[in-house]
Structure 1
Amino acid sequence: MSSPRFWLVVPAAGIGQRMQADLPKQYLTLNGRFVLDVTLERLLSCGAWAGCVVPLHCDDQWWPASASAGDARIEPCPGGAERADSVLAALKHLQGRAAADDWVLVHDVARPCIHPDDVARLRSTLADDACGGLLAAPVSDTVKEVAPGSDQVLVTRDRRQLWRAFTPQMFRYGDLVAALQRGVCEQPGAITDEASAMEQVGWHPRVVTGRTDNIKITVPEDLALAEFILARQAAG
């Protein structure tokens, strides 16, 4: 029996509304390179992959100018309206090539600071797991729950039970396809990441402690922070 292979899916169909820019955040630049190119290069350097699929927006006009467009290891495909739709489209793109028990790692294109050690630890820790899991970090701040539409605190939550979810998130191909198909049909708004789709169908993903510098670029000031983190990582 052959060992499960590892596939990469990096959804890049978002339009980055919070970035206040004229183009999607994955095509903003870090040290003169597209965020998308930095993210994909770092991921592809993290070991052997069976393939990498990048779902794109139907109106994407910047992909052909990216370095990634010329990388034969990367396959673009049409994305969807929501993250779950794009990931599901990528999984369907792999239909007939990916086996049910192969692993799929889904990573946010806007997390260019992913460290190779984190990817290696995720793959090794979950290699024999029945479900899979995700990189995450314990919450260190005090967390307040506020009433909807109000600024009044309802309760202080026990942060010892709370973790910040990162990516990559790693699940079996067949299980992830089934979970996303069901979630998109039944509770599309409740799927915020792949782990939440797995949770909805009864799985209990594991958390694997990841580095807190695995930030997600969401607002303009995050670009400068990402450049600083990348420089520090390069310096060891």
Structure 2
Amino acid sequence: MAADRPTVPPSQDGPQPEGNAFLVVAAGRGSRVGGDGAPKQYRPLAGRTVLRRTLEAIDRCPGIDRVMVVIHPDDEALYHDAIAGLSPSYALLPPAHGGETRQRSVLLGLRALSATAPRHVLVHDAARPFLTPAIVAAALETLGQGQRAVLAALPVSDTLKKADETGANVATTVDRAGLYGAQTPQSFDFASILSAHEAAAASGVADLTDDASVAQWAGLTVALVPGDPANIKITTGEDLMQADERLRMLEALASLGDIRTATAYDVHAFEPGDHVMLGGIRIDHDHALKGHSDADVVLHALTDAVLATICDGDIGHHFPPGEAEWHKATSDRFLRFAVERVAERGGRIRHLDATIVCEHPKIGPHRETMRASIARIAGLPLDRVSVKATTSEKLGFTGRGEGIAALATATVALPLSLEDTDPEAS
């Protein structure tokens, strides 16, 4: 193996290395996919091309600010059709033209990308449309620690056999300990991998099958980070068919949304007074409910139930009872806050239900007014709010008329990503 070749520092009056780039290799012909159609990266995958699916997957990965695709010179029209209407958060740079081999295509892509002076580059196969953000995050973290070459890979789990000269019989079993299956992206300090590719080309070394091999040939240490079983490469027609079925299933599940239900319970004791607040309305009574705020036991339970659907603590966490700001505060503020927290996650309240447990006051005459109040506070149609009441048959503190309890259930719908629906994704 050659000694590590030093990289040339950028000119002081030129652009300084900055940011993280993806180089997507899409210049191959993909002959093993079969058929007489376009190269595999331009074949349809659940309604969009494989390449577009890959570019969309990259857009779900934080920390990427620019992407360049390396294409075959004959594929300009196919490429522009594939990206039509795509509006990613990263800058999609003009494509580079590839060469006769993958190694040559990557070198030409790196040269074209050098004009933007990225600090890091992640080289990725266009035919891996199931890239997950976790892989990219692990690679960027490792590069940020000073590593110059990073390989996403999975430990080999199958027993490996080596065939004899005829290829028809098993010659020996290969020890799989320490063996890994390489994936992409393969991630690098940009100047280091460009220098390694230039050196390999200058030396006539043209048979290296991936960029980690180029880095090793140049003397770079390649760190391992976990790959993902979901991050498959589409190679054959069967791969494409299975990927299409899988993606259609995931998108169908994602369209349903992330439906969550949570329950909560609250209780307040009686104290001297002339009314209680329940569900945001005043009800005349010979006692009041004791609490730091207005002690609306119904809105408190509903607030906790809504917060629980997004695992966002409880009412006491957000509105500590010892703080003067919340003394005698109206509890509609608490429920409205919880609803807004769900909205910030892109979610919507689908249904609220409250059960009030007390002997007095009688809830029936106030039920519909209470429903309307809760619906107004939560911004819901009336038919998505339910209020019920029961007694405890003279049992317990509510049966003895010492206070009121409330149970609440909230149902919300949150956005669901493809990764959330995929049992194979990490």
TM-score, normalised to structure 2, is 0.51
Residue 4 of structure 1 and its aligned partner are, at CA, apart by 4.5
Alpha-carbon distance in structure 1 between the residues aligned to 2:59 and 2:86: 14
The alpha carbon displacement at 1:228 in A equals: 4.5
Report the identity percentage: 35
Of the three residues 57, 80, 88, the one matched with 2:99 is 80
Q: Which runs of 5+ in 2 are unaligned?
A: 1-15, 251-417
User: Is 1:63 equivalent to 2:79 in the alignment?
Assistant: yes
Q: Kindly provide the CA deviation profile for residues 127-184 of structure 1, in whole angstroms up to 9, marking residues without a partner as x.
A: 2133221110000011122245533434322111110000110011111111112223
Partner of 2:370: none
Deviation, 1:83, is: 1.0
Alignment of 1:24-173 (within 5 A): 24-60=39-75, 61-67=77-83, 71=87, 73-75=91-93, 76-98=95-117, 102-173=119-190
Q: Distance in 1 between matches of 2:162 and 2:38?
A: 34
Number of residue pairs aligned between Structure 1 and Structure 2: 232
Aligned 8 A contact 2:46 2:245 in 1: no
Measure the CA separation in 2 of the matches of 1:117 and 1:130: 18
Given candidates 213, 221, 224, the residue that maps to 2:241 is 224
Q: Distance in 1 between matches of 2:84 and 2:213?
A: 29
Q: 110-119 or 126-135, which moves further after superposition?
A: 126-135
Mark the runs of 5 or more structure 1 residues left unpaired by the alignment.
Answer: none
Whether the 8 Å contact between 1:112 and 1:226 is mirrored in structure 2 is no
In angstroms, what is the RMSD of aligned CA positions? 2.1
1: CA distance between counterparts of 2:110 and 2:179?
A: 30
| Aligned partner of residue 93 in structure 1, secondary structure | helix
CA distance in 1, matches of 2:216, 2:84: 33
**Structure 2 contact 149–215 (Cα < 8 Å) conserved:** no
Q: Which amino acid aligns with 1:12?
A: A
Is the radius of gyration larger for structure 1 or structure 2? 2
Aligned partner of 2:137: which letter?
Answer: A
Counterparts in 2 of 1:181 and 1:137: CA distance versus 1, 3 Å: same
Partner SS for 1:92: helix
Q: Which digits, 9 at most, give the CA deviation of each residue in 1:16-47, with x for residues without a partner?
A: 11011321000111110000000011112211
Query: Which of the residues 411, 414, 419 maps onto 1:233?
Result: 419
Identify which of structures 1 and 2 has the higher relative contact order when contacts are C-alpha pairs closer than 8 Å and 6+ apart.
1
**2:330 corresponding residue in structure 1:** none
* Equivalent position amino acid for 1:166 in 2: Q
Give the AA of the match of 2:205. Q
Write the distance in 2 (CA, Å) between the matches of 1:169 and 1:48: 16
> Is the contact between residue 131 and residue 205 of structure 1 (CA under 8 Å) also seen in structure 2?
yes
Query: Does the CA contact (< 8 Å) of 1:39 and 1:109 recur in 2?
Result: yes
Measure the CA separation in 1 of the matches of 2:145 and 2:17. Answer: 11
Q: Tell me which residue corresponds to 2:206.
A: 188
Q: Which is further off, 73-82 or 214-223?
A: 73-82
